[in-house]
Chains A and B, each alone.
Chain A
Amino acid sequence: NAGVTQTPKFRILKIGQSMTLQCTQDMNHNYMYWYRQDPGMGLKLIYYSVGAGITDKGEVPNGYNVSRSTTEDFPLRLELAAPSQTSVYFCASSQGPGLYGYTFGSGTRLTVV
Chain B
Amino acid sequence: GIQVEQSPPDLILQEGANSTLRCNFSDSVNNLQWFHQNPWGQLINLFYIPSGTKQNGRLSATTVATERYSLLYISSSQTTDSGVYFCRIDGAGSYQLTFGKGTKLSVIP
Q: Which residues of A contact B (CB under 8 A)?
A: 31, 33, 40-45, 48, 50, 56, 58-59, 88, 90, 97-100, 102-104, 106-107, 109
Contact = CB atoms under 8 A, between A and B. Distances in A.
B41 A45 contact: no
Interface of B: 4, 30-33, 41-43, 45, 48, 86, 88, 90, 94-102
Contacts, number: 58
A102 B88 CA distance: 12
B31 A99 contact: yes
A70 to B, nearest CB: 20
Q: Sort A-B residue pairs by CB-CB distance and give the 6 closest, nearest first.
A: A42-B99, A99-B31, A98-B90, A104-B43, A99-B33, A99-B90
Contacts of B42: 104, 106-107
A43 B84 CA distance: 12
Nearest to B37: A37
Contacts of A33: 95
